[in-house]
Every structure is written in structure tokens, then in C-alpha cells.
Amino acid sequence: MYFCLSKIRTKLFKPTYYTIILLLLASIYSCKEEKPIEIKKEIIKVKKPKPILKYGYNLDNYTVIKDTIKNGESFGIIMDRHHVYYPKINQIATTIKDTFDVRRVRAGKPYTILASKDSLQSAKIFIYKHNKVEATVIDFKDSIVSAFKYREPIKIVERQVSGKITNNFSQAIDTLGIGPVLAYEVADIYSWTVDFYRLQKDDTFKIIFEEKFIKDTIPVGYGEIKAAVFKHRGKDLYAFRYVADTIKNIPEYFDNEAGLLRRQFLKSPVKFQYRISSRYNLSRRIKLYGNRIRAHRGTDFAAPYGTPIMTTASGTVVESARRGGNGNYVKVRHNSTYSTQYLHMKRRKARVGDYVQQGDIIGWVGLTGNTSGPHVCYRFWKNGSQVDPFRQKLPSAKPMNDSLKPKYYEFISPIKQRLDSIPLATDTGEMLKEEIEITEEEITAKQSTNHGAKEH
């Protein structure tokens, strides 16, 4: 009986025993310190924006105001509007007069003002932009006023193009997407070699030249024309830019046989954008004089009003006046044999006694005197008589010294190979080009090694 009860007790209490054990274990586990949850910290680095530096200043320190000079505005008016008053304006104008004349600011020119960042926003620095590349910076933020010239960094890209004449050279250049200025420069180089008004259809050309850019993509003009070749009437006419005399350091253009393309006289007193409206003619009938025969002892170059007029050769100005039918004119004596005269100028730049070099501007195309349209009447004197310059056998400029020719041939050899290898543009006017980026500093460095030997 006892045994049976014992068994019964064991069975009754056994589950309770295990339950207690489990409860104790659970209690012990729950009393342990809970393990902290790890929170990963992510550190975010905030990059400070780079300061905007231009003209030698941190633009972040100023309020930048950009505007354009309006008609009737002066430097003083602009300064007054931006809380700079007299006598400070007078101090600025007087201090910087040797660097920049504030009276010469022109309507239409853009400018930038760096002003204080307070509520007044008074001007501290004035930047006058002459063009896309050059500016004058006037600093008056402190008691010391200063001014300096600023020039945008220029990227120079060397390009090569080719084209075919279908109508005229200007149109062919335009088809290639190139500005007319380059056409004028090429025409000047070949002025005594190629008659650009008598080019034949299917004449071809190839040019290696430089184009200038700011901010990588904004074109600001052309640099050097390195080389060119015209195929005219079946003949290849080469032009290579080369400095034969490093003492004078004046670049000239020579052909593939070291012949100088320039003559002692330019062929025209104006650039390529002209037409000959009337030639030298001793029996010409002139409408202005009642259609009577009256000798015309000059060559008329029609050009837009205000076009610069150049002296065709170096010499001394012997006359600069306004007289009768000549209007404003300048006469230049080149030597004991030759003199030239330029009539109907809008305004004269050269004065009597001035020494002018070939290509110098001596005036501007106008309508003074007896004339029915803007042009320059170019008169050519030989031994005291007026003659037709295009019928004269004019002297060449000084040729290259024979001792320099081997160096010259060595210099042009790779350039000529490059010219010859340029494929011709298609009839659709597709531009064929190769672009090589170089800086102005690299250009300067190259020039020092490309200049030929000195003449002895």
C-alpha cells in the first residue's frame, strides 16, 4: 500500500519539479544584463563649395552686379548709382589716368561691379570689359586705388581645312563655317600672287591656322595662319609663315622655294572686303562732271564707310589736308622714286612728318570731296608722275638671305607634307579639320625655336 502511494506521489510531483526548474532557469536568464543594440553611425562629409575666383578676387566675398553701359551714362553716374560719391570718384579718375581714362567708357560695353555684401551694396571694384578677352579692373575698396589690365585665359586650337572654289573665295570660306576675317588675312598673304576676283571654278585651297577660344567653347578670333596652298590654274602656290630675321622678329610668308610673297607695296590700301569700282583710265567719262571725258589718274577701291585705310608701303607723310575734290587726303613719300596718295577720307589719322610702316592705318574710308559713294581713290606716283600701279613692275621686298634657306627648307618640310596630305573638302562643303589644343605659353615657346637663324 505504501509502495503504491509512493509511486502515485512521484508521478504527481514530477511535472511540478521540472516546471520549477524551468522557471528558475528563465528567471536567471532574465536577470542577466541585456546586450545593448549597436547603432552604426554613418559620417557624412559635406564638401565645401570651391570659391569662385576671377579677376584675382574671390567672388563669394562680394555681391556681383553685371550690367551694360547705357547711352548718356558716364563712369561717375554709374559709381554714384552704386553708392560711391565725390570726391572718391575724382580720386579714382586721377589715380588711374595713366592706366585707364574713365572718360572713355562707351555705351554698349558690359561691365561688372563687385559690391559689398551688406544691405547698402556699395561698389568696391569696377570691371570694364573692352571685349570678350580684355578688361580693365579698377580696385577702390581700400584707401589705395589701383587699376590693372585683365586678360581671359585663351585656348588656342590649331585647325586645318580645305575647300573648293565654286563661286568665290569668301563663299567657299563661309561654307566651311569660318569667319570672313580669315578670308581677308589669306587674301592679304596672297595679294600679289593670286587675283581673288579671277579665281576659277574648281580651284582649291588648304589652310593650317589657329583659332582662339575662351571658356573652351567661346570663339574670340583667329591666331596665326601657319601655312596655306592654293591650286590656281593648275599650279600649287604655297605660303609658309616664317621668321627669317630674329633680330627684327617680323614674320613673313615665303613660298616653297623661299621666295618672299610680299612686295614692297601692298596691292590695295584696304583689306579684302573691297571691290575696284574704277580703274586708272585717262579717257574715262565721269557722270559727276556731266559725263565728260576726264582723266582718272587713280584706282577707286569701294569699301564700307569707316573702313581703315592702310599705307601700301613704308614712308614719310608729306601731305595731310582737306582740299577741293580730294576731300580729306594723305600723301606718303616712300623713296626718291615712289609716292602714294589716298583721297576722300572720312578722317585722317596720319600727320605731316609721321613715319608710317607698310600696313599702318592712316585714315578711314569716307565721302569727302567729289565722290558719289564711300571709297578711297588710290593714286600712285612714280618719278613725279601719276601712273597705274597695276601696270608697274614694282620692286620686291628684301629676299631671304641664301645662308638661311637650308634652315627654312628644314622647317617647312613637315608642314608641306601635312598640307599635301590634307584631303579636299567634298562638294557639299563638309569641313575637313584636325584640331590640336595648345596654350599661348606653348605658342611662345614654339616661336623661340621656330624662328630661323639670325642674319649676319
For 165, residues 6+ apart whose C-beta sits below 8 A from its C-beta are 172, 199, 200, 201, 202, 203, 204, 205
The Cα 55–Cα 38 span in angstroms is 53
**332 touches 314 (CB < 8 A):** no
The pLDDT, as a whole number, for residue 48 is 77
User: Is 0.85 topped by the overall pTM?
Assistant: no
Spans of the chain, pLDDT less than 70: 1-41, 272-273, 285-291, 425-456
CB-based contact 191:268 (threshold 8 Å): yes
Span 12-43, pLDDT tens digits: 445 565 666 666 666 655 555 555 666 666 77
Closest CA to 299 of 316, 262, 274, 325: 274
Question: Would you say 304 and 374 are in contact if contact means Cβ atoms under 8 Å apart?
Answer: yes
Q: CATH number of the domain at 275-391, out of 2.70.70.10, 3.40.50.20, 1.10.8.60, 1.20.1250.20?
A: 2.70.70.10
**CA gap 336, 334 in Å, rounded:** 7
Name 226's Cβ contacts closer than 8 Å, sequence gap at least 6: 158, 208, 209, 210, 240, 241, 415
Which residues, in sequence order, are CB contacts of 279 under 8 Å at separation 6+? Answer: 296, 299, 300, 388, 390
Cα dihedral across residues 427, 430, 431, 432: positive or negative: negative
Rounded CA-CA distance 316/322 in Å is 18
> Which distant-in-sequence residues (6+ apart) come within 8 Å of 439 by Cβ?
154, 155, 156
Q: Hey, do 53-151 and 275-391 end up sharing a CATH topology, with the first three levels equal?
A: no
CATH topology of domain 53-151: Nuclear Transport Factor 2; Chain: A, (3.10.450)
**Strand partners for 242:** 252
Residue with cell 573638302: 425
Q: How do the domains of the chain map onto residue ranges?
A: 53-151, 155-262+398-450, 275-391
The CATH architecture that domain 155-262+398-450 belongs to is Roll (3.10)
Question: In the block, which residue shows the cell 596691292?
Answer: 267
Q: Is 419 helix (H, G, I), strand (E, B) or coil?
A: helix
Spatial CB neighbours of 386, under 8 Å, sequence gap ≥ 6: 297, 298, 379, 380
